[in-house]
Structure 1
Amino acid sequence: MTSHYIDLRVVPDPETGAPQLLGILFGKLHQALVQLRIDNIGASFPGYSNNPRGLGNLLRLHGSETDLKSLLQQDWLKGIRDHVRMTEITPVPQSARHCVVTRRQFKTSADRLRRRRMKRHGETAEQAALAIPGTVERKPDLPYLNLNSASTSQTFCLFIEQKIKPEPAPGKFNSYGLSQNVTVPMF
């Protein structure tokens, strides 16, 4: 249950901007949630806006007071602690609305879709190009975090979408603290 929250604000410096620091912070949260096998802490971005870098500089973690205390007892902020200002664990306001914070993945590259079609259907490059025109590419306009994959060491964009919901929906979060249907308080 997400009865409490804690805010983690990144503080940029001349060498490192807020979007980069927020990506590093979120990557560390992901690693901690995976290592500790935690699925009852959710994340949100109170500074969210619909533009590519519109996540702001604030990461809010939601959970029970006990779960948040347990996470904070771990040393998961190592290496970024100087760039993070953290609030105390606080009860969620009664007037809070409900919001789903989810990861959105896009199959945006026509070339990638063509290669996939060639592999699956045994087509030539020309046949795949006729079947999949360049106009199928979608340009995501959602805000995102740049993260580094622990398994491949490659950088990728994690697109975030936040949607207000009329009713709270309990459940478990994924290893990013996100969900397709579980809500977190929004205020």
Structure 2
Amino acid sequence: MHSHYLELRAISQIEITEVDVINQVMQSLHQILVNQQGNIAISFPCYNVHRTLGGVIRLFGTEQELQKLKADIQQKSSISDYALLMPITTVPATIKGYLHLSRVNPKGQSALRRAEKRLTAQGKWTPEVKNKMVEKWGSVHLQYPHLHLNSKSTGQKFILWLKQEKRPEPVQGTFNSYGLSQTATVPDF
């Protein structure tokens, strides 16, 4: 379980918004987390404040994992230009509960067109089906805060929509190179 945490706090910039600062920090942080063993988790303590992820990134792991991560972050000037690196701290004994942060893949117009073509061929496409799909898929992107990132492998820009849910019990698991997990939780405090 995660015994310690490390916070990155956005430094106010005259030229760019806090949202853009967090996007920049996460872009660089992702490149560092690729080299981790799936042990570093992430949360955003200010999640959904003004419908954003807020200006704080909280990273969880063991003290040794976070020491290595902190050293890697300190070598990457692009992060230190945009965020204050706080001291590694023990997770408080009293917490509110647990959080699960996951990626949401909203469907867009192209997915609707593909569904229409497929369901029309099956004879199942109706105006009611279309309305239900638009209602279900059209509102996802409005509900969740997100990051604007660039893929280093493909060069494409993409949006990483993040959904945070409260959980009553801790769940163990591994984390990807964005600090997210399909099942695992992090402490909420």
TM range (shorter): 0.7 to 0.9
Q: Residue 133 of structure 2 aligns with which residue?
A: 136
Q: Residue 45 of structure 1 aligns with which residue?
A: 44
Q: Does the aligned pair in 2 maintain the 1:25–1:77 contact within 8 Å?
A: no
Q: Residue 115 of structure 1 aligns with which residue?
A: 114
Q: Residue 103 of structure 1 aligns with which residue?
A: 103
AA of the residue aligned to 1:23: N
The partner residue of 1:162 within 161, 164, 172 is 164
TM superposition shift of 1:170 = 1.3
Cα displacement string for residues 146-175 of structure 1 (whole angstroms, at most 9, x for unaligned residues): 111112222211111111111111121112
Select the structure that is richer in helix: 2
The within-5 A match list for 1:24-35 is 24-34=24-34
AA of the residue aligned to 1:168: P
| 2:57 corresponds to 1:59 | yes
AA of the residue aligned to 1:66: Q
The structure 1 segments of at least 4 consecutive aligned residues displaced by more than 4 Å after TM superposition are: 120-123, 127-132
CA distance in 2, matches of 1:136, 1:115: 12
TM superposition shift of 1:90 = 0.3
Q: Aligned pair in 2 of structure 1 residues 166, 114: CA closer, same or farther (>3 Å)?
A: same
- TM-score, normalised on structure 2? 0.84
**Identity between Structure 1 and Structure 2 (%):** 36
Q: Residue 13 of structure 1 aligns with which residue?
A: 13
Cα displacement string for residues 25-61 of structure 1 (whole angstroms, at most 9, x for unaligned residues): 1121211111x143000000000127642x1100000
AA of the residue aligned to 1:150: K
Root-mean-square deviation over aligned CA pairs? 2.4
CA distance in 2, matches of 1:77, 1:185: 27
Unaligned runs of 5+ in 2: none
Q: Does the aligned pair in 2 maintain the 1:50–1:143 contact within 8 Å?
A: no
Q: Residue 178 of structure 2 aligns with which residue?
A: 176
- TM-score, normalised on structure 1? 0.84
CA distance in 2, matches of 1:17, 1:38: 32
Q: Does the aligned pair in 2 maintain the 1:110–1:136 contact within 8 Å?
A: no
AA of the residue aligned to 1:5: Y
Q: Residue 84 of structure 2 aligns with which residue?
A: 85
Q: Does the aligned pair in 2 maintain the 1:146–1:157 contact within 8 Å?
A: yes
SS at match of 2:114: helix
Q: Residue 23 of structure 1 aligns with which residue?
A: 23
Equivalent pairs counted in the alignment come to: 180
SS at match of 1:158: strand
TM superposition shift of 1:110 = 3.2
Q: Residue 72 of structure 2 aligns with which residue?
A: 74
Q: Aligned pair in 2 of structure 1 residues 50, 12: CA closer, same or farther (>3 Å)?
A: closer
